[in-house]
Amino acid sequence: MSWQRALACWALRTRIRPHTARPEFDVEQARSYASRRVWTPRVPKGWRLMVHASGDEWLTNETRPRRTILYLHGGGYYFCSPRSHRAITFRLAAQARASVLSLDYRLAPEHRFPAAVDDGVAAYRRLLDEGTPAHSIALAGDSAGGGLALATLLALRDAGTPLPAAAVLFSPWTDLTCGGASMRTNEGRDPMYHAAVFPRVAAQYLGGADARHPYASPLFGEFSGLPPLLLQVGDTELLLDDSTRVAERARAAGVAVQLDVWRNVPHIFQIWAPFMPEASEALKRAAAFIEEMTPLRAAHRLPITSMV
């Protein structure tokens, strides 16, 4: 365990986790805190960042990209932005040699389910309409954005839209019923959250919608026909079972799955790159997966689980 990983876990355990046990939370306060705490990395050399009026971010390199990543940021469906997740998107772009569209999808409570799914589907179809081949696109996302990426895949498949070549999911939140066993077994072990926060956040996003709707909780969807998936999650996370159960169900449906379970890392530890060596290594693995899966349609089976 690197000292950087230990320091990150300590900082989250002492400064963030206590707040997640409170019965109420302030949306605007969370958004303000996130915007103040954002560390913005430099744009990779040779790349160009374009920030659209909509809030979407495009990272491009005209001489290199052969593939495109549609990235969906985390933040419980109610805060964070493409800017807050540049530590992930910038490294994925450079290492996977891919253009990245980081989507500023609509947030709750102003825009509840299924607004975020509608935005993810619309952004993907916009890529297709602009001439980007489906087999050269990978979806990616973290936490709520990881669940959103998987829900977007289900919605695209159900609509008969050509699917992307692959999806990368970092600690995805796939079960808004919060019914995974790890919500109990990892209470007190997760350095970032108390389990009590998840039902409150889910209710804010769902409004009156059914938490078991597959576009809200993609764990409960039918996975047949989906492209290869890479999932990365920490073994002490409350959301551990949101990944392991997806991997099991997807594999049973014939989907190629790689599940990487990392020891003693915080939720979406990838965002700590390049400070945390484990984060840099995880993003390197994700980029290699995307390179392998695009632009060719991958059909071979991947290992179901590895411990890191």
Token couple for 263: 């020891």
Catalytically annotated residue among 57, 136, 267, 278: 267
Amino acid at 118: D
Residue 99 annotated to the active site: no
DSSP H helices, 132-252, are: 144-158, 182-185, 197-206, 240-252
Which residue's structure tokens are 């992930």?
88
CA-closest candidate to residue 116, choices 55, 199, 206, 34: 206
Measured CA to CA, the distance from residue 36 to residue 268 in angstroms comes to 19
Residue 267 annotated to the active site: yes
Catalytically annotated residue among 143, 182, 217, 243: 143
Measured CA to CA, the distance from residue 5 to residue 8 in angstroms comes to 5
Please report, for residues 141, 149, 187, 246, the alpha-carbon distance to residue 253 in angstroms, rounded to integers and kept in the order given.
Answer: 22, 18, 31, 11
Residue 222 annotated to the active site: no
DSSP state of 67: E
Catalytically annotated residue among 57, 81, 182, 237: 237
Please report, for residues 124, 139, 189, 270, 275, the alpha-carbon distance to residue 87 in angstroms, rounded to integers and kept in the order given.
Answer: 22, 17, 25, 8, 10
What phi, psi does 134 have (nearest 5°)? -60, -35
Q: What share of the chain is helix, strand, coil (3-state, %, to 5)?
A: 40, 15, 45
**Residues marked as catalytic:** 143, 237, 267
